[in-house]
Amino acid sequence: MNQGVLQTYREHLPISSSTPMISLGEGDTPLVRSHRMAAELGLENLYFKLEGCNPTGSFKDRGMVMAVANALERQSRTIICASTGNTSASAAAYGAHCNLSTVVLVPKGNVARGKIAQAIAYGAHILLINGSFDRALAIVRELSERHPIALVNSVNPYRIEGQKTAAFEISDALGDAPDYLCIPVGNAGNITAYWKGFKEYHELEATTHTPQMFGFQAEGAAPIVRGEIVESPETIATAIRIGNPASWRSAVEARDESGGLIDAVTDEEILAAYKLLARLEGIFCEPASAASVAGLIKSVGNGLIPRDKTVVCILTGTGLKDPDLANQIADIPLRELSAESDEVERVILSL
């Protein structure tokens, strides 16, 4: 039975005797070996970490369970976050589970439909902001300083602590750290968390080395790559539509300490990777997650990732979050037929 991240990684986390050991069954997600994409790219050892298999469909649950446990420990009654969608879904779920009031600020018009549906279903107070994620984050940071409201964005160090557990899982599953880790970068909390996890496991001698961290931003929202804040970020991958990442400095540290890279991928490359992953592997991730695969393809192409190395791509969220996008790119026509077997047979034989 999956006991959840807090129980499983208790000795690696900031847990005291008064920490409530809550869980929605987060963590313990599949690490799936690639066959068809690996063959296409000529890679010997490629794996996908399916973080969309977490309870609310994204990696956020690993960090949220820790942040909410800490909020309970401090006797907070309200949690708040800014979000491009997944953090709000996760906060709303753990808030409901723990009988907390949850307030989420999301940029109006730029959040995938499924994520809003989740926050509604879990009973969160949803505030649609006429502005960017970056602006929403500035607002919740300010308010949480003035009021006894727990901020559960990844600027909360407990979020990073919970999220680092994915690095432990990957290392345990492979028997050592991978050589390369490909990961999408938005607010840059997750790349920070993975790097912390890999470093800690290495210090404990659970692994022989640490991976090179390859982070990928969307071209229209690539402040770290450009070295400057992007005032009006734009990308089809709305989850990483962020122009001023909160964990900017620690993402650069992860890149530099690991001998890695933070690069940009275009929306076209993201969409191509999104489709390829579904068609070649049967894995449906959301567009932001596909940025890691787009980055992998680019990095293998330009020789930065050698073909004989072990590579793990982090697929941060499930494609079901954003059903509209899958419909938009549909290239196999949906056919409407009569309910007659003859007609169905004729069509099938003509495919």
Interface contacts to ligand F0G, rule CB under 6 A: 58, 60, 83-87, 154, 184-190, 239-240, 286, 288-289, 316-317
| Closest CB 276 distance from ligand F0G, rounded Å | 18
Size (the chain), residues: 351
Instruction: Please say which residue, 42 or 153, places its beta carbon nearer to ligand F0G.
Output: 153
Three-state SS at 55: coil
**Nearest distance in Å: CB 208, ligand F0G:** 27
Q: How far is the CB of 337 from ligand F0G (least distance, A)?
A: 36
Please say which residue, 39 or 229, places its beta carbon nearer to ligand F0G: 229
Closer residue to ligand F0G (CB): 69 or 246: 246
Question: 3-state SS string over 128-152?
Answer: EECCCHHHHHHHHHHHHHHCCCEEC
Alpha-carbon distance of 285 to 308, in angstroms, equals 25
- Min dist. Cβ of residue 294 to ligand F0G (A): 13
Instruction: Quote the DSSP letter at residue 216.
Output: E
Name which of 324 and 336 has its Cβ closer to ligand F0G: 324
CB nearer ligand F0G, residue 232 or residue 344: 232
Task: Kindly state the smallest distance separating residue 62's Cβ from ligand F0G, in Å.
Answer: 11
Burial of residue 125 (CB within 10 Å: 0-12, 13-18, 19+) is middle
- Residue number with CB closer to ligand F0G (164 or 202): 164
Closest CA to 163 of 2, 288, 3, 51: 51
Across the strands, what pairs with 33?
Answer: 47
- Paired sense of beta strands 212-218 and 261-265, if any: parallel
CB of 334 to ligand F0G, least distance (A): 27
Give the number of C-alpha atoms closer than 13 A to the C-alpha of residue 85, restricted to the C-beta side.
27
Q: How far apart are CA 50 and CA 30, in angstroms?
A: 6
Q: What's the min distance (Å) between Cβ of 218 and ligand F0G?
A: 10
| CA dist., res. 116 & res. 40, Å (int) | 36
Q: Is residue 17 classed exposed, middle or buried when 0-12, 13-18 and 19+ CB atoms within 10 A define those classes?
A: exposed
Sequence-separated (6 or more) residues with CB below 8 Å from residue 164:
12, 193, 194, 196, 197, 200
Instruction: Provide the minimum distance between the beta carbon of 197 and ligand F0G in the complex, in angstroms, as a whole number.
Output: 13
For residues 28 and 6, the answer to whether their CB atoms sit within 8 Å is: no
| Exposure on the CB side of residue 256, measured as CA atoms within 13 A | 8
C-alpha–C-alpha distance, residues 61 and 89, integer Å? 9
Smallest separation (angstroms) from ligand F0G to the CB of 49: 12
